[in-house]
Each structure stands twice: as C-alpha cells, then as structure tokens.
A and B are shown apart, each in its own frame.
Chain A
Amino acid sequence: MLTAKRTTPLEIVVIGASTGAVEALHVLLPLLAHGLAVPVVVVVHLPANHRSLLPEIFAPLCQSPVREPLDKEPVTGGVIWFAPADYHLLIESERSFAFSVDAPVKYSRPAVDVLFESAAHAYGAGVTGVVLTGASEDGADGAATIRTHGGCVYVQDPEQAEAKLMPMAAVRLAAPQYIGSITGIAEQLRASTGWST
C-alpha cells in the first residue's frame, strides 16, 4: 500500500459514512481524539425526523470536545464536529460553518458530497477526506473534488467495510492516496504534517 505523505500541512479532516458508521467511527474517532489540533468534521447519514444522538454517543469515548455546530460558528480545531440531522453542512471560505435545507443529494441530507466540496473550496490542498462504510455512492464526487483541489483522500478498504458501495465508489472516482483499515487511516492522519501543534 502506498503511503500518503502530504506536501502541504493538514488543516482539516472531513469524514463521511453511512450504513455501519457508528461501529466504524467507534474505532476511528477515539484514535484521532488524542492530541487533535485540526478540526474533524463528520457527516453520517441520519433519519430526517429525529435529533442526532451522535455527539452523546461519541463524547464519552473521545478526549476532544464532540459537538454539532451552529450557523456561522468558526470551524475550530481540536473539536470533532458532527453534522446535525436534516441539514446539509457546509464550510464557507472564511472557515465558518454554514447550513442549507436545499434538496437531498444522492437521497441524503446531510450529504457527504456537500461537505467535501465546500471544504475543498475553502481549504484547497489542506483537506483530507475520509470515506468509510456505506450503502450509497454519496461522498465519491466530493472526494474527487478534494483531489482536484490538491487534497488527500483516504478510503476504508471496501472488503473490510460493513457496506462496500460507498468506499468502492470513492475508490473508483477519487483515486485515493490510501486504501486500508480504519486503524491504518488513523495512522496516516496522525502522521500528517499539521496534525498536532
């Protein structure tokens, strides 16, 4: 497996997951939360009519704060940010959070593509996008946009994912720098320049 040395410092990690997300994040987030300096922003596909419980689930497992952002809140480093249910989560060029209730993308709101594309526009090569398990193709186009802006894309090995479709689509469209296990992805991230101060 090729390794993914960044040529520019990492400024933000964006993560997308769907079916099997909770189990996968259960492994990944506690590994990232130690010594975290950059923001980590996570989109998980959620049912529209229910408040997300993800911050409550993950806060006790992580050393960093775990929160849902408010409109216009600065994208602060050292925090794990979850997209709330029934909104698209975006990042503005001034690096604050924005929301929309525009139509679902690939049947999802929040959509991984929406977060990834806006992060690529705001941070350019400073983005690393991570695509995990999921039974939808959401995330692949966004991951490709991250690559065209010079960022990195890491994808969970589809053979190890609970649902293969989402990582397979990302592998096909985004030419990831790394494809591997969740612990492998965590090692890649933690080895990035800019990971900790």
Chain B
Amino acid sequence: MDELAPEIEQILEVIYRRYHYDFRAYSRSSLARRFDAACASLGCANVRELQLKLEDDAQFFARLLQFLTVQVSELFRDPGFFLALRTHIVPVLRTYPSLKIWIAGCSTGEEVYSFAILLREEGLLDRTMLYATDINPESLRRAEAGVYSIDRVQSFSENYRAAGGKASLASYYSARYESVVFDRSLRKNAVFADHSLATDSVFAEVQVVSCRNVLIYFNNALQEHALGLMKDALCRRGFLGLGARETLQFSTHASAFNELVSQERWYQRC
C-alpha cells in the first residue's frame, strides 16, 4: 500500500482548514502525482515539507494550487460531443426565448470558447448566458483572457472541423506572435466565476450543464454530490454533457436522466 497516503491526508486537511479548498474527496492516484510534481517544482523534498511551507504562506499556497488543478484540454475536445450538441440539442434549445448554460469546471476556458463558437454559428449566442465556473482563480483569469499558444491551434482547428464547424476557426481569433486571442464578443455574455462543486450550491436554473473530465478527479461520494447539484440546476428536460469516460451508469442520480446520445455522454433530465 502507498506509504505516502498519510502525508497526503494531512496536507489536504491543512489546505481545507487554512484555505477552504476541499480536495479531501479527490481521487488519490492523480493527487499523488500532482503533489510529486509540486514538490519537484517548488523545491520541497516531500509532501510534509510542502505542508509546513503552505501553513503560513498564502502565496505559496496559490502556487501549489496551480499544480492541484492542472487539467489540459482543447477546443472541441471529442468532436462527436459537439456534433451531437449541434444535431440533437440545438434544435430544442432554439425553442427557448433565452438560455443559460453552465460550464462546470471550465479550467482555462477551452470548453467555453467551443460552446460560444457553436452557439454563435447556430444563432443562439446572443440570447445565451454562459456561466463558466472553476475553483482556480488563475485558470478563470486565463479563461477570460482567451489567449492560447499558437502551436495548439492546428489541433483546435481539426477538432472544430470534425465537430461540424461552419466557418474557419481562424475567423474567431487573431494571431499575435506566438499566441492567438479569441474574439471578445464570444464572451460578451459569459460570466467567469469561482464555484466549487464540493462546497458551493446551485446558483441558477439552466438548460444545459457541461461538466467534462471534472468528475474523474472526484471519489464516488463527491461525484454523487456534484451530480446532485447539476441535477438540481437543470430545468425539466435540460441537458447534461459528461466526459467520454464518465457515465451516470453507476450513479444514484441515473433515474433522474434519460440517455440522449449515450455514445457521446449526453443525458436529458426527466
């Protein structure tokens, strides 16, 4: 069994008590790797040393937080997911006079711009409020900035085309030296906000929740809690999109949803 386990339990308690970030119900296998990476980068020999340093140093914790929430995504990741959104869900969304969409765990914003571009092309963006939430303030700042390294753009563009994109992705960003910046008008109706699926509650009634590759970091109990929040946030017949390896199959909330496009992990609230 893992000899590091007690150290990790201790530091998670300290982080929760001192900084109110609750990682205690996160999957341990990924956390172990993230703490290893943090130790190596922040010059600590072990997790115990990390813990001693962060106890009295909020700035040190802010640096550590970047290692504890480090998802790396893409625009239009899993193009089939967005194609299903266009084909099966957009026609229903057109019937609403106004829309609210919650991107839960938006990280550095790739999912937000994917949704915004798709909704613009379907003529829905102007009547949509996009709530993009995450627990990492630095990620939210980067999501709002909408700046990505230019070497990622080729795969973004391939995904966009495979997702049924109607224009050229280049029409949504301008290139600046080594990076691209996405058109500000895409986030005109977007709100970037600090929200924790572990400790915060429902804040709006929405027609769509997209929460992809966030639940994989949670243990079963926290997954159930987070899915409960999403269920409560969704209006009747609202849509829930999960990541490619995530499923409601093992959840007690499964009975509140129908499988809409099960291959692409789209569910509809009963």
Contacts and interface: CB of A to CB of B under 8 A. Distances in A.
Contacts of B27: 90, 92, 98
Given A49-B155, A93-B1, A121-B2, A102 B245 contact: no
A122 B5 CA distance: 11
Contacts of B162: 49
A100 B30 contact: yes
A109 B29 CA distance: 16
B70 A103 contact: yes
Interface stretch (B96-104, B121-129, B136-144, B210-218): B210-218
Interface string A109-151: 1000010011001101000000000000000000000000000
B250 interface: yes
Contacts of B114: none
Contact of B2 (A68, A101, A122): A122
B33 interface: yes
Contacts, number: 83
B32 interface: yes
Interface SS of A by simple majority:
loop
Contacts of A84: 244-245
Given A93-B2, A101-B73, A121-B2, A70 B249 contact: yes
B72 A101 contact: yes
Nearest to A118: B29
Interface string B16-55: 0000000000011110111000000000000000000000
Contacts of B70: 102-103
Nearest to A73: B250
Interface of A: 48-49, 68-72, 84, 86-88, 90-93, 98-104, 109, 114, 117-118, 121-122, 124
13 contacts: A48-B155, A49-B79, A49-B159, A70-B247, A71-B247, A72-B250, A90-B27, A92-B29, A99-B213, A100-B217, A102-B71, A121-B1, A121-B2
